[in-house]
Amino acid sequence: MNYRPIRTFVAVGPGVDVKRISALMPHAPEVDVVALVPSLAESWQTLQATQSDLLLVCTQDSEESVSFVRAAVAERPGRPVVALFEGSPNWFVGRLFEAGADDLVTIPTDLAGDSAVVRSAREQAVAHEVLFALQKAMARRQTAGGANATDHARMITVLGPKGGVGKTLTTASLAVSLAASGRRVVIVDLDLQFGDVGLSLGLAPGKTIDQLASSGGSLDADKAEDYLVTHEPSGAKVLLAPTRPDHASLVVVEFLRELYEVLTSSFEYVIIDTPPGFTPEVITSIDVSTDVCMIGMLDSLSLKNTKLGLETLDLMGYDPANVRLVLNRADSRVGITRDDVHAIVGRPPDVLVPSHRDIPRSVNQGVPLVLSDPKSEAARSFRQLAAVYDPEFESRSKGRGRRRLFGREKI
């Protein structure tokens, strides 16, 4: 996982001293306090408009705090809530957990009697405990499986050093495979000038990413949904690229950050198709992605470029453990072996996709090969890739894919 501080929204309940709370906040690079609001009513108003990963509610015994926690959890179930409780632990603690708090740290009512040195040491100890609680709450959400799958959304940025290597093909095939297995998947076509995800999936023209970016007002899941087009056979959603290259500049990185935040809270997989090269938009996407899927081709020039791409990711501090390497058009007859790839690129490929004569036609017809010829070796390779990103892919796909394909089952 790429490193990012926990953006923490601090809401301070009735009777709790804001100054005291700020002294207890961890001053660590792992935490970014995005807001510290001295009243719950005011917190409620600002909470929706503030990008945060976690909510820290500071409270004494107060019904208002319990209602606040309950409402915040209902409003965004994927965001963990930690309570900082001032007072001696009593029945009230249980009520906070019932309302949906993930963790709780207690602080003694008053440290005023202590000497400055002792007070500072105790504050630091509490700050440590708070930091640990925040990290635990985040980690639990990220690793929790099951019902509320949006808590562990994977965002996969598909990269390739140049045009024509198969980025769009891979994006579409991966997205359709995961969606057909019942996963909630959205593709963002970030090839802002020449995006062709819509064409490759046979989608009718619809609303586009630049329209969403320039629509004004705040962005939430409902609004984003309104701009997505559905690939009916699989259920995958797509945010289409601008129809005109000159509209690309409307899509700025601040918008993208907000967009990804919204999409990762309502989809299980957010898959980003990109133009060649490390544009600012691509870099922003990599930064917030959980995974990068690098596409290369099996010739020495492409492999050299792929190596450069991987080195650039390294320089950006992106964890290599979250990078997968797909080699497209990987036919044995080109005379480069897996070992050669390892030697040139510095790592072995994760998935090899062979050339298939029907792929250009399937792209032109807008029916991905994973649907039109699921038994082909190329389709198998893309399913193998889907299984890399979803350990349950095989078991989920059994039967379901076919039903969905032919019966247009609505999930």
Residues contributing to the site for ligand ADP (CB under 6 A): 160, 163-169, 328-329, 353, 355-356, 359-360, 363, 378
Task: Tell me how many degrees the CA angle 404-410-411 measures, rounded to the nearest 5.
Answer: 95
First to last CA, the chain: 30
3-class SS of residue 138 = helix
169 interface partner picked from ligand ADP, Mg ion, none, CB below 5 to 8 A per type: ligand ADP
CA distances from 137 to 8, 50, 82, 116, 278 (A): 12, 19, 7, 31, 33
**Complex with Mg ion: residue 133 or 201, whichever CB lies closer:** 201
Minimum CB distance to Mg ion, residue 167 (Å): 5
Minimum CB distance to Mg ion, residue 388 (Å): 21
Contacts of 402 (CB under 8 A, 6+ apart): none
141 interface partner picked from ligand ADP, Mg ion, none, CB below 5 to 8 A per type: none
Contacts of 232 (CB under 8 A, 6+ apart): 408
**Complex with ligand ADP: residue 168 or 397, whichever CB lies closer:** 168
Token pair listed for 309: 């791409």
Contacts of 24 (CB under 8 A, 6+ apart): 84, 107, 123, 126, 127, 130
User: Which stretches of the chain bind Mg ion, using CB under 5 A?
Assistant: 167-168
160 interface partner picked from Mg ion, ligand ADP, none, CB below 5 to 8 A per type: ligand ADP
279 interface partner picked from Mg ion, ligand ADP, none, CB below 5 to 8 A per type: none
Q: List % helix, strand, coil for the chain (3-state, nearest 5).
A: 45, 20, 35
E runs forming strands in 202-290: 229-231, 236-239, 269-273
AA identity, residue 391: P
**Complex with ligand ADP: residue 107 or 363, whichever CB lies closer:** 363
What angle, 0 to 180 degrees and rounded to 10, lies between the N-to-C axes of helices 63-75 and 40-47?
A: 10
Contacts of 391 (CB under 8 A, 6+ apart): none
Token pair listed for 36: 């510290």
352 interface partner picked from Mg ion, ligand ADP, none, CB below 5 to 8 A per type: none
Helix or strand holding residue 5 (H, E)? none
**Complex with ligand ADP: residue 46 or 193, whichever CB lies closer:** 193
3-class SS of residue 123 = helix
Q: State how far the Cα of 141 lies from the Cα of 64, in Å rounded to an integer.
A: 25
**Complex with Mg ion: residue 245 or 391, whichever CB lies closer:** 245
Residue with tokens 């709780």: 104
Minimum CB distance to ligand ADP, residue 196 (Å): 6
404 interface partner picked from Mg ion, ligand ADP, none, CB below 5 to 8 A per type: none
277 interface partner picked from ligand ADP, Mg ion, none, CB below 5 to 8 A per type: none
Minimum CB distance to Mg ion, residue 168 (Å): 3
Minimum CB distance to Mg ion, residue 194 (Å): 7
**Complex with ligand ADP: residue 333 or 398, whichever CB lies closer:** 333
Minimum CB distance to Mg ion, residue 31 (Å): 38
**Complex with ligand ADP: residue 95 or 380, whichever CB lies closer:** 380
Do residues 229 and 206 lie in contact, with contact meaning Cβ atoms separated by under 8 Å?
yes
3-class SS of residue 204 = coil
**Complex with ligand ADP: residue 8 or 168, whichever CB lies closer:** 168
Minimum CB distance to ligand ADP, residue 356 (Å): 5
**Complex with Mg ion: residue 55 or 326, whichever CB lies closer:** 326
Closest-approach residue to Mg ion (CB): 168
81 interface partner picked from Mg ion, ligand ADP, none, CB below 5 to 8 A per type: none
Minimum CB distance to ligand ADP, residue 387 (Å): 19
Minimum CB distance to ligand ADP, residue 169 (Å): 3
Of 239, 225, 153, 154, which is closest to residue 189 (Cα–Cα)?
A: 239
Which residue(s) pair with 297 in the sheet?
Answer: 328
327 interface partner picked from Mg ion, ligand ADP, none, CB below 5 to 8 A per type: none
